[in-house]
Amino acid sequence: MSETFSRADGRALDQMRPVKITRGFTTNPAGSVLIEYGNTRVMCTASVELGVPRFKKDSGEGWLTAEYSMLPAATHDRMRRESMAGKVKGRTHEISRLVGRSLRAAVDLSQLGENTINIDCDVLQADGGTRTASITGAYVALADAIAHLKAEGVVPGEPLLPPVAAVSVGLIDGHVCLDLPYEEDSRADVDMNVIMTESGKFVEIQGTGEHNTFDREQLNALLDYAEKGCRELIAAQKAALAGELR
C-alpha cells in the first residue's frame, strides 16, 4: 500500500465524480432522464404500456422490466452494434437483469395495476460505472413515469417506493476507492457494485475479485464507501425530483 497513492482525476478516495441528473431529457417517454457520473452519460427512460406479460396476467399486479445497451460509439474503441451482430452479449443481458431487479425494489407492483413499465438505459458515453449510473438514473425516470400515470388516473395506489441508488467501489493497489472510472475499473483487484435504499439497506451486492480475492475486512471497508456514495446519490435524486420537470 503506497503512501503516495493518488487518483488520476485528483479525487479523494471516498469522493464521487460530479453527478448530474437532467429530467425531461426527451419528451416521448413518460420518464426520461440523462444521468452523468463524470464522463459516463446514460439516457434512462421509463415507458408505460397497458397490460402485463403473460405470467402476470390476472394477477392484479403490474410489472417492470429493463434493458441496458451501449451505443456503438460510447466506448473508446467502437463496439459492434448488437442488433447487426445478431447477438446480444452476455454482459448486456447480465446488466439488463441487474437493472430490472434493482428497480423492482423501488416499486410496489401490487399498487401499479396491470401496467408494465419498460426501463431503457442507453449509454451515450462510457467511462466506468455505466450499470450503477443506469440504476440511479432509472429511479428518477421511474418516479416521473409513475407521477405521469397517477396524473392520468391509471394507477390505483402508490406504487413508488423510496429511492434506490447504485455505485461502484473497488480495491486498487490496496486502496478502497469510490466510483471507479474506466481507467481504474480496468485495473482494480476487486470491483463491487452496491445497490442501496434510502434507509441504508442493501438491494444487491455484487463483488468480484477480478485480479485478486478479498477478505471480510476489505469487504466492510468497500461497503462503507459504497454507503457514503449511495447516500449522496439519493440526495441528488431527491434534489432532481424536487425541481421542475423541464
* Interface positions with a second copy (CB under 8 A): 26-29, 32, 39, 41, 43, 45, 47, 49, 67, 69, 71-76, 78, 81-84, 86-94, 96-97, 101, 105, 118, 120, 122, 124-126, 192, 197, 199-210, 213-216, 219-220, 223
Whose Cβ is closer to a second copy: residue 4's or residue 199's?
Answer: 199
DSSP state of 74: S
Angle between helices 130-151 and 90-104 (to 10 degrees): 50
Shortest spacing between CB 94 and a second copy, in angstroms: 5
Nearer to a second copy, 216 or 242 (CB): 216
CB nearer to a second copy: pick between 31 and 177:
31
Report the nearest approach of a second copy to the CB of residue 20 (Å). 15
- For the bound state, the minimum distance from the C-beta of residue 200 to a second copy, rounded and expressed in Å, comes to 7
The 3-state secondary structure of 107-137 reads ECHHHCCCEEEEEEEEEEECCCCHHHHHHHH
Our CB check for a second copy shows the closer of 4 and 201 to be 201
Q: Give CA–CA dist 155/141, Å, rounded.
A: 16
Q: State phi, psi for 214 to the nearest 5 degrees.
A: -145, 155
Cell 487518483 maps to which residue?
Answer: 7
Q: Where is the binding site, in residues?
A: 91, 129-131
Unique residue bearing C-alpha cell 428497480: 103
